[in-house]
Amino acid sequence: MNRSRNVLGGPLVPCSHEPLTGFFRDGCCNTGEDDLGSHTVCTEVTAGFLAFLAAHGNNLLKAAPQFGFPGLKPGDRWCVCAASWVQAMREGFAAPVVLESTHEAVLKFVTLDELRLHSIRVN
Q: For residue 1, what pLDDT is reported?
A: 46
Higher pLDDT, 117 or 1: 117
Condensed to tens digits (0 to 9), the pLDDT of residues 75-100 reads 999 999 999 999 999 999 999 999 99
- pLDDT classification of 62: cutoffs 50, 70, 90: very high
Angle at 106 between CA 102 and CA 108, to 5 degrees: 160
Q: For residue 46, what pLDDT is reported?
A: 97
Query: pLDDT at residue 122 above 80?
Result: no
Condensed to tens digits (0 to 9), the pLDDT of residues 27-56 reads 999 999 999 999 999 999 999 999 999 999
Q: For residue 123, what pLDDT is reported?
A: 58
Q: For residue 38, what pLDDT is reported?
A: 94
Spell out the domains of the chain, with CATH numbers in brackets: 1-123 (3.30.56.110)
What is the reported pTM?
0.93
